[in-house]
């Protein structure tokens, strides 16, 4: 018997939900529910300097207002440091990771900014007075993977081979490490998320292989662009979505994802609209290109 589908939405609480993150939330929700699976929510609050106070609860309230109800409890990464620390210590002990005190300036001068493994040979030990990052010894590079929406993705050797950071110099755990630990911990079977994370997916797959975890399948959704062609993001101060007409914002997100709309969607309740979207969800219709939001809904 195949394993039950478990999907997830994993926002960072660096601001309220905007249209771009709604597209990711809705896409991952519909993919999970169309497979009669679970849809989990994880708050990726491992970066306090980038966190906006109150954003976590605002994101969750917005999901609830949209009838996007998650299964099980919400996992907060800020509560998981001990589990992350144990893995880091294990990797250091097994010499699968090493300390690095290279400066940002030095790394910026390297080709494309990818790290050249300089500290791998230095065998640095931790001294209290100096900040160190911890890097993975990349012995399992991934040069390609297949995305269910975008097809075969080739990864340049310089990116694949990089000894990437798993613990930051400022003392924080790195996203690429904890995302893998948590997706495994939560039993996630498929990841549906924005295409901005394509460049790090190979690094994450390499960690799955290192830890002996089952590799998941991936669906990377197109990004919503602003008028300047940049990704709508909290950093670019994307507008929080307005909840005055949730059916209309949901219909816009469905249209962005290339999905059909019921003819009378304006008269449908939010739950009817979501149920219709679940039963008509078709991954093959999702556009492969990032694009701006078109405001006319048919
Ligand atoms: N927390 C990440 C973000 O908000 C998403 C991580 C993921 O989906 O893997 O961009």
- CATH (residue range 6-79+181-292): 3.40.50.620
Question: Per-residue pLDDT tens for 261-285?
Answer: 999 999 999 999 999 999 999 999 9
User: For 220-265, how does the pLDDT look when each residue is reduced to its tens digit (9 = 90+)?
Assistant: 999 999 888 888 887 777 888 888 889 999 999 999 999 999 999 9
Outline which parts of the chain fall under CATH 3.40.50.620.
Answer: 6-79+181-292, 81-178
- State yes or no: pLDDT of 297 exceeds 70: no
What is the Å distance from ligand 1's center to 124 Cα? 32
Distances (CA, A) of 65 to 210, 245, 253, 257, 269: 40, 11, 15, 21, 12
Q: What is the Å distance from ligand 1's center to 11 Cα?
A: 5
- Alpha-carbon 194 to chain mean position: 7
> Residue 194: phi, psi to the nearest 5?
-75, 150
Structure tokens at 287: 């556009």
- State the distance from the centre of ligand 1 to the C-alpha of 20, rounded, in angstroms: 12
* Ligand 1 surroundings by CB, under 6 angstroms: 10-12, 44, 179, 193, 197
Ligand 1 pocket mutation, candidates 46, 175, 207, criterion most atoms within 8 A of CB: 175
**pTM for the whole structure:** 0.94
Per-residue model confidence (pLDDT) at position 236: 73
Summarize pLDDT for 158-174 with one digit per residue, the tens.
Answer: 999 999 999 999 999 99
Cβ-based burial of 114 (10 A; exposed 0-12, middle 13-18, buried ≥19): middle
Distance CA 45, CA 60 (A): 13
Of 6, 7, 8, 12, which is best to mutate to test ligand 1, by the most ligand atoms within 8 angstroms of its C-beta?
A: 12
Residue 190, classed as helix, strand or coil, is strand
User: What angle, rounded to 10 degrees, do the helices at 19-34 and 246-256 form?
Assistant: 80
**Whether CATH 3.40.50.720 fits 81-178:** no
Interval 85-89 mean pLDDT: 97
pLDDT, mean of residues 53-62? 96
Residue 178, number of CB atoms within 10 A of its CB: 23
């Amino acid at each position: 018997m195949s394993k039950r589908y478990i999907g997830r939405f994993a926002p960072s609480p660096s601001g309220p939900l905007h249209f771009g993150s709604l597209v990711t939330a809705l896409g991952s929700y519909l993919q999970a529910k169309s497979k009669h699976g679970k849809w989990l929510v994880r708050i990726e609050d491992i970066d306090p300097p980038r966190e906006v106070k109150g954003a976590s609860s605002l994101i969750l309230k917005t999901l609830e207002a949209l009838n996007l109800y998650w299964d099980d409890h919400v996992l907060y990464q800020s509560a998981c440091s001990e589990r992350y620390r144990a893995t880091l210590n294990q990797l250091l002990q097994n010499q699968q990771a090493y300390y690095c005190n290279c400066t940002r300036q030095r790394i910026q001068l390297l080709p494309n900014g990818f790290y050249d493994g300089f500290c791998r040979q230095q065998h640095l030990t931790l001294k209290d007075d100096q900040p160190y990052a911890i890097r993975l010894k990349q012995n399992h590079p991934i040069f390609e993977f297949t995305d269910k929406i975008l097809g075969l993705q080739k990864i340049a050797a310089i990116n694949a081979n990089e000894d990437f950071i798993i613990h930051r110099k400022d003392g924080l755990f790195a996203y690429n490490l904890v995302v893998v630990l948590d997706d495994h911990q939560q039993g996630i079977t498929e990841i549906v998320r924005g295409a901005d994370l394509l460049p790090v997916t190979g690094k994450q797959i390499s960690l799955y292989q290192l830890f002996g975890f089952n590799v998941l399948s991936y669906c990377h959704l197109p990004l919503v662009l602003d008028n300047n062609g940049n990704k709508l993001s909290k950093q670019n101060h994307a507008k929080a979505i307005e909840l005055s007409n949730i059916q209309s914002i949901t219909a816009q997100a469905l249209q962005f994802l290339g999905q059909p709309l019921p003819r009378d969607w304006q008269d449908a309740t939010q739950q009817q609209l979501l149920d219709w979207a679940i039963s008509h969800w078709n991954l093959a219709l999702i556009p492969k290109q990032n694009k701006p939001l078109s405001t006319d809904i048919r």
